[in-house]
């Protein structure tokens, strides 16, 4: 019996001795694991920062025409005219038979062009002829207009007063139709003064959107590169400048699509790499429940010793 008790006590002491040693190992492993987690976390943070820095270096897609290739050809002449007719309400046509004050009055009274006899009689012959001079220039700068366009010019000058003949008359020596687009670039200040006098944005006849010198130079450069051959004959240069000033430099749709697809593809790849990196690193961390294994080993040892003692005692009984 004494031998049995000694065996049980000795086994218990061995098991209890093993537990502190195992606990020490557990603490050391826990510390090492903690350090490993900290290192992995630091590395993940650093790599994430690097990926973010890389992402920030990728330029955002720009909606400005400067960052995209312009269309290889300009708008077709009929498209330009149709767009301006829609914007201004001034129809293309001709104003034959309107050469002096008397013929102007005669034509305007015989048809419906938005002016009655009382209003027409209120204009002097000089005013009618000044309006015709400006109307002729409009026909060259834009396209041939019907008598209704002349009435708009006349009313803008002397009724609405959104145009000033004094300012206009000093600019008529400058004729864009006698110059190339490159010439207009070289005379950008003169062109700006011409547009401000004949086509101010506030005009009730035809207004052209005001552009900075840089923007106007960009528009003229585009037109010089794309308006070729017969397109140079009609419509006029101011008509095309007006279209680009209003709607911007045309850009092919497919170019924008390619740019968007490229940027989207880059973003998707970067995000996938981040997710994959995080997933790989998580797989290297200690799994939950591993810390209980050491205590289970110690408890199992005690149970085994107890069972062995039981069988020894049973065998020793007489």
Across the range 180-198, mean pLDDT stands at 97
Global pTM reads 0.58
Query: What pLDDT was estimated at residue 21?
Result: 44
Across the range 233-261, mean pLDDT stands at 73
| Cα 153 off chain centre by | 39
Q: E strands within 135-224?
A: none
pLDDT tens-digit map of 108-122? 987 778 899 999 999
Query: What pLDDT was estimated at residue 266?
Result: 34
| Confidence band, pLDDT 50/70/90 cuts, at residue 313 | low
Intra-chain end-to-end CA distance of the chain, in Å:
12
Sign of CA pseudo-dihedral 305, 311, 317, 318: negative
Give the separation between CA 318 and CA 78, rounded to whole angstroms.
124
Token output for 223: 């037109």
Residues 6+ positions from 176 with CB-CB distance below 8 Å: 141, 184, 191, 194, 236, 237, 238
Residue in 176, 169, 165, 171 with CA at minimum distance from that of residue 203: 165
What DSSP state is assigned to residue 61?
Answer: P
Range with the lowest mean pLDDT among 17-26, 205-214, 264-273? Answer: 264-273
Give the separation between CA 47 and CA 34, rounded to whole angstroms.
20
Of residues 75 and 104, the one with the higher pLDDT is 104
Of residues 311 and 195, the one with the higher pLDDT is 195
């Amino acid at each position: 019996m004494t031998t049995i008790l000694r065996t049980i006590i000795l086994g218990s002491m061995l098991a209890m001795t093993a537990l502190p040693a195992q606990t020490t190992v557990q603490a050391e492993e826990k510390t090492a694991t903690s350090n490993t987690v900290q290192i992995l976390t630091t590395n993940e943070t650093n790599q994430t920062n690097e990926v973010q820095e890389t992402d920030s270096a990728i330029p955002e897609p720009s909606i400005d025409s400067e960052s995209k290739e312009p269309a290889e050809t300009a708008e077709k002449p009929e498209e330009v005219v149709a767009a301006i007719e829609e914007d201004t309400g001034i129809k293309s046509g001709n104003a034959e038979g309107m050469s002096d004050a008397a013929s102007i009055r005669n034509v305007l009274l015989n048809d419906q062009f938005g002016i009655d006899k009382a209003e027409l009689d209120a204009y002097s012959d000089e005013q009618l002829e000044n309006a015709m001079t400006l109307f002729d220039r409009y026909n060259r700068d834009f396209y041939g207009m019907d008598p209704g366009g002349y009435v708009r010019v006349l009313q803008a000058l002397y009724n609405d007063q959104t145009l000033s003949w004094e300012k206009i008359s000093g600019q008529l020596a400058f004729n864009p139709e006698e110059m190339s687009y490159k010439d207009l670039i070289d005379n950008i200040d003169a062109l700006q003064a011409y547009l401000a006098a004949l086509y101010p944005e506030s005009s009730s006849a035809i207004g052209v959107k005001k552009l900075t010198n840089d923007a106007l130079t960009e528009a003229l450069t585009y037109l010089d590169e794309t308006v070729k051959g017969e397109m140079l004959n009609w419509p006029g240069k101011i008509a095309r400048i007006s279209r680009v000033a209003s709607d911007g430099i045309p850009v092919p749709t497919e170019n924008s699509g390619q740019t968007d697809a490229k940027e989207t593809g880059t973003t998707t790849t970067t995000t996938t790499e981040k997710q994959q990196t995080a997933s790989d690193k998580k797989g290297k961390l200690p799994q939950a429940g591993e810390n209980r294994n050491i205590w289970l080993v110690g408890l199992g040892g005690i149970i085994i010793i107890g069972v062995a003692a039981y069988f020894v005692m049973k065998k020793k009984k007489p």
